[in-house]
Chains A and B, each alone.
Chain A
């Protein structure tokens, strides 16, 4: 019997469904709507089956082509990767349900195929154990995203898609050159094998390769000077796509940076340098979000700010810092995806993305507005919600190193939380207490769009009031990454 707890199935099953969508579109128009739901439903099951295996062994490794890892490509799922895979699969499942009610524009079957491909590529980026395969996954993700950003085919979205295409293509090329340099220096592509062999290399030899990989992934991960595409691309895309782009795609790129930094370029000085970028990203994102009039643009800038925050937590370079980073990743993925879905449903009703048109909506669309408020509170870090725990962890982790730099950073984080609170409260106050000039006919969002929002909302509420298992799991994942346990485990399991 086939062992279903095999990481490769996480990629291959959705990919099979991508091709099934293309195949079925020849016979039936409506099959394509429901196939992504089945694909990611299976993915959630496989990810759940992997949980006990990963907890028992610390890591699950799966090979391809029947050869041992440095020869062939392998997939590695450790605690951290599992963490993100579960988020990506659940988001994929939930947003696929949302799509059924939301997408009503031709060519639908192409949209569903690309949407499934996008999430497949994200999962692929997370679990691959091979550098070149990482590049391939990066390309799969970005190519799918380019098409989806331009899906509405109006002037704005085509322009945003083109901008993203140019920047993404440059990023991909830089990433490829960086990987080629590492391959030239070590003669192997397997990440664990590169980690072993690059230990002999000097800082100078690795510097250019690392810098290229960092810039390449940083473009996708929206780090400060490289994120010009994001504020255009996220609002222009259909809301369900923005929810995936914001919720998990930038996170996956940051995750790849974290992995590669930890494995190949683990010098203390580099963390200081990365911290500089992280804080700049945080400040830029939050302040730009404050001035936005377009609600989706505001959320997109807030994504940049949040990315800066969890990247900062990573650069603290301690187990607690990493734990904070992972918690913040969960908080951001769940809340921001939910916010984009709610806002998408509201835009359908209101017919505009301008914040001023949202006045008084809190009394018309009660359920949607309730979940919008929960998501925003959690992103701000209001006490009962999950965002509070993650921000608290990050601040404590930073204060453990009691030097001036860390204290300064904490001050910046707190100030930026205030800015974040200011623009979210401004919107909420307008929605719940503002009076619309003329009475508009606005109904509650349709049932099909409300269900996914409610699912994500309950996940967020559940982890808010019962955070202990998540905190523990994040702590284990963080200490595994910090002690580089996974390298030894992979060596033992993979027989490198």
Chain B
């Protein structure tokens, strides 16, 4: 009974404050101050025809560095929690082999998945998509391989090399901006080029390629850890 009363008081407070928030909200008025600036100046200032990319990688590129670190932290956390010692990692439990169609089909489709993912992150500044999406697509290709061939392993030290190198690329590109006269982190110091050309908008495509590699390596690592938790023999728990 008391619980119900407390709940209803909470609910009433939330509803009331939502009503108060929206009652005074100026509907129909233009509330975009920063957003409008991005829309009007984005293409000219960044040279990217995908306005989302110009905000994500250029104007608010520092947030993206944070998101990259969040993903890195999450992958490292999964690796800690699902940690299995090296020798046990190679011993696999007996598994029913997937059927013929899955095995052959995944072999045919795997290179195309890689190609598509690469296309998405290389064209991040021109078309919808970008490093995160492209990287996730590539990692889904690895997931398919794991499902079709339970014995699949990836070289973990090579993966962490790729993710480390991609992160270093991002930060070193940003630090280079401090050497420019503007002296600002992540300053776009390369020429903007022609609009809609593949090689345009300065450092944006380079950063997106680095993010693509990084996200792909991290997701592949997470998939490897989670698969191992299921199929590796003799986990220490």
Contacts and interface: CB of A to CB of B under 8 A. Distances in A.
B73 A204 contact: no
Interface in A67-90: 67, 70-73
Interface stretch (B99-107, B115-123, B171-179): B171-179
A95 interface: no
A40 B188 CA distance: 28
Contacts of A111: 80
B161 A23 contact: yes
A106 B83 contact: yes
Interface of B: 14, 17-18, 20-21, 23-25, 31-35, 37-38, 45, 58-63, 65-67, 69-70, 72-74, 76-81, 83, 85, 157-158, 160-161, 163-168, 171-172, 174-175, 177-180, 182-188, 237
B65 A15 contact: yes
Interface majority SS (helix, strand, loop, mixed), chain A: helix
A298 to B, nearest CB: 27
Interface majority SS (helix, strand, loop, mixed), chain B: helix
5 contacts: A18-B69, A23-B161, A66-B177, A110-B76, A140-B69
Given A107-B79, A153-B80, A188-B34, A20 B17 contact: no
Nearest to A107: B83
Nearest to A63: B184
Given A66-B180, A132-B60, 14 more contacts: A8-B185, A18-B69, A19-B72, A20-B168, A23-B167, A65-B61, A72-B62, A73-B62, A106-B85, A110-B80, A114-B76, A147-B81, A186-B31, A197-B33
Interface stretch (A206-214, A453-461, A466-474): A206-214
B179 A2 contact: yes
Interface in A98-116: 106-107, 109-111, 113-114
A167 B142 CA distance: 32
A157 to B, nearest CB: 10
A25 B184 contact: no
A111 B177 CA distance: 31
Contacts of B25: 184-185, 205
Interface size class of chain A, counting residues whose CB lies under 8 Å from the partner chain: 35 or more
A121 B74 CA distance: 14
B69 A147 contact: no
A124 B67 CA distance: 13
Contacts of B37: 71
Given A64-B62, A65-B184, A107-B80, A23 B33 contact: no
A12 interface: yes
Contacts of B73: 114, 117, 140, 143-144, 147
Contacts of B69: 15, 18, 117, 120-121, 140
Contact of A22 (B81, B164, B188): B164
A150 B17 contact: no
Contact of A189 (B34, B65, B165, B174): B34
B21 A114 contact: no
Given A143-B73, A147-B77, A188-B34, A205 B164 contact: no
A304 interface: no
B164 A143 contact: no
B17 A207 contact: yes
B183 A23 contact: no
A16 B65 CA distance: 11
